[in-house]
Amino acid sequence: MIKNEVKERKISRLQRNLSYLKTIASISLDKFLGNFEKQLACRYTIQECVQICIDIAFHLCIVNKFGEPINYKDSFKILSQNQILSDQLSIKMQNWVGVRNLVSHIYEEVDDSRIYSFIVDDLHDFDEFISTLNQLQKI
């Protein structure tokens, strides 16, 4: 079981990051693409959001003896197989791992208009992940 203060600290940081990203959703795509600093900030913030979720997912897999994930995406699959996450949310989080990997490792090919689209259209996936965590008795 993860200590409550650690869980709360991770969720708090995730929520802080999401608040920042939600402010980006309120600006136009043109303004976003015209501001290199915002693009870099969003790339990093998304990377950190996904990493927080990965850390929590790995922890849940290990402490609940669901098995050790073979990779980041696998951690969310395992949580779905053990009814911690819905199949739909598991797939969404696996997709975010792909975004994280793109930003982290293939950064020269990142299309910032896609990053903006993820922020505008898909950020709610993290809220759903947080809500699911908050519904668990002990994690």
Full-model pTM = 0.92
Q: Cα(105)–Cα(129) distance, rounded to whole angstroms?
A: 24
In the numeric block, which tokens belong to residue 94?
């696996």
Comparing CA positions, the residue from 132, 34, 48, 55 lying closest to residue 89 is 132
- pLDDT (tens digit, 9 = 90+) per residue, 81-138? 999 999 999 999 999 999 999 999 887 888 999 999 999 999 999 999 999 998 886 5
Q: Residue 61 belongs to a domain with what CATH number?
A: 1.20.120.580
d(CA 121, CA 139): 29
List, for residues 20-32, the tens digit of each pLDDT value. 999 999 999 999 9
Q: Evaluate if residue 2 carries a pLDDT over 60.
A: no
Range of the domain at 45: 4-134
How many independent structural domains does the chain possess?
A: 1
User: Collapsing DSSP states into helix, strand and coil, what is residue 28?
Assistant: coil
- Residue 21: inside a domain: yes
Q: Is 139 within a domain?
A: no
Say what the pLDDT of residue 7 is.
Answer: 78
Give a yes or no: residue 51 inside a domain.
yes
The reported pLDDT for the residue numbered 1 is 47
Is 73 inside a domain boundary?
Answer: yes
Q: Considering the domain boundaries, does residue 102 fall inside one? A: yes
